[in-house]
Amino acid sequence: MKTASGTTRRRFLRTAGSGLLGSAALAFADPRGTPTTKSRVVIGQDPQLRKAGSGVDSHRLLALLDKTIQATFDRDTPQEAWRQIARPGEVVWLKVNCLAGRGFSTNGVLVDAICERLQQAGIKDIVIWDRLNSDLESAQFRINEKGKGIRCFGNDTLGYEDELAIQGSIGSLLSKTLTQVCDAVINLPMLKDHSITGVTMALKNFFGAIHNPNKYHPHGGNPYIADVNMIPQIRQKIRLHICDATTAQYEGGPPFMPQWTWPYNGLLVSPDPVALDYTGWQIIERKRGEIGMKSLKEMKREPVYIATAADANHRLGTNDPNQIEVVNV
Partner 1 sequence: MKQWTDSGGTAGYDRRSFLKTTALPCLAMCAGTLGRSQGLLATESDAQFVREAQFYEKLPYKKIKCKLCPRECVIDDRERGYCGVRENRGGTYYTLVHSRVVTAHIDPIEKKPFFHFLPGTMAFSLATAGCNVNCKMCQNWEISQVRPEQVRSTYAPPEKIAALAQQNRCPVVAYTYSEPVIFYEYMMDTARAAHEVGVRSAVVTGGYVAEDPLKKLCKSVDAIKVDLKAYSETFYKEVVNGELKPVLNALVTIRKLGMWNEIVYLVVPTLNDSDQEFKGLARWVRSELGLDVPLHFSQFHPEYLLKNLPPTPLATLERAKAIGDAEGLHYVYIGNVPGHPAESTYCPKCRRVVVERVGYTIGAMHIKNGKCQYCQQPIAGVWS
Q: For binding to partner 1 (CB under 8 A), which residues are involved?
A: 99-101, 156-160, 162, 164, 166, 171, 195, 211-212, 214-215, 217-218, 252-255, 257
**Residue number with CB closer to partner 1 (121 or 210):** 210
Phi-psi region of 163 (alpha: psi -120 to 50; beta: other; left: phi over 0): beta
Closest contact distance (angstroms) between CB of 222 and partner 1 is 14
Closest contact distance (angstroms) between CB of 196 and partner 1 is 8
Please tell me the total number of residues recorded for the chain in this structure.
Answer: 329
Residues 6+ apart with CB under 8 A from 55: 4, 5, 6, 109
Partners of residue 268 on adjacent β-strands: 43, 243
**Residue number with CB closer to partner 1 (38 or 211):** 211
**Residue number with CB closer to partner 1 (76 or 162):** 162
Closest contact distance (angstroms) between CB of 102 and partner 1 is 11
Closest contact distance (angstroms) between CB of 315 and partner 1 is 24
**Residue number with CB closer to partner 1 (120 or 157):** 157
Closest contact distance (angstroms) between CB of 190 and partner 1 is 14
Strands 261-262 and 266-270: unpaired
Partners of residue 184 on adjacent β-strands: 92
Strands 266-270 and 39-45: antiparallel
**Residue number with CB closer to partner 1 (103 or 183):** 103
Inter-helix orientation angle 108-120/58-73, to 10°: 60
Closest contact distance (angstroms) between CB of 173 and partner 1 is 8
How many angstroms separate the Cα of 308 from the Cα of each of 58, 170, 241, 282? 37, 14, 19, 17
Q: Which of 261, 86, 280 is nearest to 202 (CA)?
A: 280
Residue at 150: amino acid letter: I
**Residue number with CB closer to partner 1 (158 or 327):** 158
Spatial separation of the C-alpha atoms in residues 153 and 131, rounded to whole Å: 8
